[in-house]
A and B are shown apart, each in its own frame.
Chain A
């Protein structure tokens, strides 16, 4: 087991390193590094000073070494707009994004599993067919447009829910959370629903496919032959079987939610990492862009690592295959 984790850890570090190289090359070769890293409003003397400070007159590999050394110490430069360490700004936004992603994940499970199980139990009913048609639509609908339509309907036309921001937050361990206040919850609902849409369709499909497979299994018939109630059969015997694939897939998809929150956060002005990067891109706040990209790469590699390790614990076959391969 520990051999497996160490192997995966080494791979993860390798990926982060390659990505740092790519981001660095992206910023320094494709674009003009002076343009990218220096405040456009700086004067000539300032520019000359920064070029010297950053070592931009040095050969490229030396420059990269310098960048890497600073990055390892947590220094990814200062934001032009906020004039604060870029890394700190990004890290501060992580909780908001995670809250949104987790809420979306929760909604996908809470809404998706009952709908999927229902569609699986009664595949020929009108309701089930409607559910499945909506899930196909859910795969095709562009997230950002659905977000706009949600705002249009629930906020502008009906005036039921707020359309932007996090609302009132409660602070726990120095981190702000929206879901702890009623106002925050009303702010959280629409963005979470929007972000969950795609995963919701996925969960419905998985739950339906799982249900269709499991209801025909002998053990379900045996459970009926034991005289168990319909509820016990559905909620214990069936649910437990379909939850394993659903949870596995959702675990793998969590990273996708974090990434896609860029769109939802922009639509709903949710102050998370995604909103930050888009604003930074618009404001040409390059150190912030680099900081975001590095943080998200590390985050992603970490999530993949955790999922891999958890998965190998759940399924011993994966572990064996990987050690051999």
Chain B
């Protein structure tokens, strides 16, 4: 990073840092900006859920089955008002959603990050070494991508079983191929450029060339794919948890909350599934909108 700042100092005209320029471009789209703000709020809720949730839905002492299935806005026997109602066990839905966001976002971001790192390494290796390494890695990627993500995840979870660690492993395996393919594509473009040749002539180590020269240039597409894949991961986790093959009931993510409401829906108690779904939807939509705008901003072809 210090290299970039030095270069900038050498320039006589004051130029904007890349970050400032990207930020300015990003703010051009009001919808994307709004989505970013919503997303930040959601992240804050997830981070600080235990402190801002009106009730603790997993504190057995304060949860009473007698308060179960209360419609939105009703008051419980103990005098607590449940804005979004309660679920079958008498847990406040608003608080459950706050805690659920924590788990859903946590699993989504975690798996996307691990997949990003792993996929990027594989992609870089494939691009840099070429030949047999490239062929083997890309064949695996091709075969895996020819199967839909949900199917691969289902196969893995059938073998692995339930659990936070298991679902993160499954999501990483499902997603790494997208990153690997993206990084390889942009690294191949970069590798043929002269500065890499120059670096090779200077007899810099492979590791240095890969990490200091190739990787930074592959970052923009990686960031874009990263955002979109995080949304995918959250959605996929919710789906798998709903199907009962994802998280165990001890880790109530949004998907599990929705799943819990399923049985009560037939009797018209819509809110137990409805509100967690809305939370999930808002999260995914705002991540996607931010990702869309990032793609436009970071795409050099669209720059004037």
Contact = CB atoms under 8 A, between A and B. Distances in A.
Given A139-B288, A140-B285, A281-B244, A30 B160 contact: yes
B155 A293 contact: yes
B148 A31 contact: no
A289 B155 CA distance: 9
A143 interface: yes
A194 interface: no
Interface stretch (B120-128, B205-213, B270-278): B270-278
Interface stretch (B43-51, B260-268, B296-304): B260-268
Interface string A243-265: 00000000000011001101100
A293 B158 CA distance: 9
Interface in A262-297: 262-263, 266-267, 277-278, 281-282, 289, 293, 296
Nearest to B276: A145
B239 A143 contact: yes
A140 B151 contact: no
A141 interface: yes
Contact of A277 (B146, B147, B154, B288): B154
Contacts of A23: 155, 159
A255 B146 CA distance: 9
Contact of A149 (B151, B244, B277, B288): B277
Nearest to B270: A152
A292 to B, nearest CB: 9
Interface residues of A, number: 41
A157 B268 CA distance: 7
A85 B238 CA distance: 32
B160 A259 contact: no
A255 B285 CA distance: 25
A144 interface: yes
A142 B268 contact: no
Interface in B224-253: 231, 235, 238-239, 242-245
A173 B266 CA distance: 36
B281 interface: yes
A30 B166 CA distance: 12
B42 interface: no
A40 interface: no
A149 B275 CA distance: 11
Interface in B56-70: none
Contact of B154 (A27, A151, A156, A262): A262
Contact of B285 (A26, A31, A137): A137
Contacts of B243: 144, 262-263, 266, 278
B143 A15 contact: yes
A145 B150 contact: no
B180 interface: no
B205 to A, nearest CB: 33
B218 interface: no
B258 interface: yes
B56 to A, nearest CB: 25
Given A23-B155, A26-B159, A27-B159, A151 B239 contact: no
Given A31-B159, A148-B258, A149-B274, A259 B239 contact: no
Contact of A151 (B235, B255, B265, B284): B265
B288 A281 contact: no
A304 B262 CA distance: 35
B281 A145 contact: yes
B288 A140 contact: yes
Nearest to A263: B239
B222 to A, nearest CB: 21
Nearest to A290: B158
Nearest to B244: A282
Contact of A148 (B154, B156, B273, B285): B273
Nearest to B273: A148
Contacts of B146: 300, 304
Nearest to A146: B277
Nearest to A303: B146
Contacts of B151: 259, 262, 296, 300
Q: Of B146, B244, B273, B285, which is in contact with the most chain A CB atoms at under 10 Å from its CB?
A: B146
Contact of B155 (A26, A140, A255): A26
A104 to B, nearest CB: 14
A28 B287 CA distance: 39
A318 interface: no
Contacts of A310: none
Contact of A152 (B158, B238, B274): B274
B202 to A, nearest CB: 34
Contacts of B148: 255-256, 259-260
27 contacts: A15-B143, A18-B143, A27-B159, A136-B285, A140-B231, A140-B288, A144-B238, A144-B242, A145-B258, A148-B262, A149-B274, A149-B277, A151-B265, A156-B265, A163-B266, A255-B147, A255-B148, A259-B151, A259-B154, A262-B150, A262-B151, A277-B154, A277-B158, A278-B245, A281-B245, A300-B146, A300-B147
Closest 5 CB pairs of A and B: A26-B159, A145-B277, A259-B148, A259-B151, A256-B148
Given A26-B160, A145-B281, A148-B265, 12 more contacts: A26-B156, A30-B160, A31-B161, A137-B285, A139-B288, A140-B235, A144-B238, A144-B255, A156-B270, A263-B150, A278-B244, A289-B158
Interface of A: 15, 18, 22-23, 26-27, 30-31, 136-137, 139-145, 148-149, 151-152, 156-157, 163, 255-256, 259-260, 262-263, 266-267, 277-278, 281-282, 289, 293, 296, 300, 304
Interface of B: 143, 146-148, 150-151, 154-156, 158-161, 231, 235, 238-239, 242-245, 255, 258, 261-262, 265-266, 268, 270, 273-274, 277, 280-281, 284-285, 288
